Structure 1
């Protein structure tokens, strides 16, 4: 058995995804989002979370999936990547689980319509459950991080 990894499980377009707990700052219900002009369509705008302005990305749009209106179960997961806090809109935040790092396999080229570069791997959980692990560094690739930082300035 390898090292245990604590993971936040969230839903997106009928798939389950995971982000390591240490990268997640907080999970919030949907908040009013202020649109920012001249940004990618998947950058929904910014929120004011306890006095901090945080850019918000719709993960469905980021992954090229069909975007939907937020529902009662939609959440904004605030993650920290290289000193930058960003919110991800997801369909639902379901669970916190421990997975064995050894059960994370290299992702196939496309999983659920999502390109492999956005994925760290696919984790086997139990006998019949697969969890798609995000590669946050790619989800927020360098040029987009720079663009997000410029919006905050």
Structure 2
């Protein structure tokens, strides 16, 4: 289980970076509870197309959201190489299906930029910041509060 890092200091934050549909994203490490390998889900009838289903996480029912489908890149055909990032948002525990976790990074707040106005409204809704690096790499910071749907699943 991941915990908040001692590296979180004013002006800096720790993030988990990961890949979805060959694109790089990140989320604050404080919401991440664990990272686990892919396990098949139990499909929920009439759920959104980006909800893969639910898994049993030590007795709790956890919905798994296909980030690729939710972000508009198309559905993921999960395999043993995929991972589920278990996050806690408010009182809900949700799994995020991703290709791979890349790294845990400490990011300077000065490296976080606004999403350009030219980006679509949907892109600006789902992406809160763009993180830039000196070597030209960029990460998109996902706004989980907007990406994660009202699943209608009672989570234990």
Relative to the length of structure 2, the TM-score reads 0.85
Give 1:44's aligned residue.
52
Give 1:151's aligned residue.
153
1:77 is the counterpart of 2:79: no
Alpha-carbon distance in structure 1 between the residues aligned to 2:139 and 2:103 = 12
The structure 2 residue matched to 1:20, chosen from 6, 18, 28, is 28
Unaligned runs of 5+ in 1: none
Alpha-carbon distance in structure 1 between the residues aligned to 2:94 and 2:50 = 13
Provide runs of 4+ in structure 1 moved above 3 Å. none
Q: CA deviation at 1:53?
A: 0.8
Give 1:117's aligned residue.
125
Say what the alpha-carbon RMSD is for the aligned residues.
1.7
* C-alpha contact 2:131 2:138 (8 A) present in aligned 1: yes
1:102-148 alpha-carbon deviations (Å, 9 max, x no partner)? 2111113448xx712101110012321101001111112xxx32xx2
Alpha-carbon distance in structure 1 between the residues aligned to 2:101 and 2:69 = 17
Unaligned runs of 5+ in 2: 1-9
Give 1:3's aligned residue.
11
Partner secondary structure for residue 62 of structure 2: strand
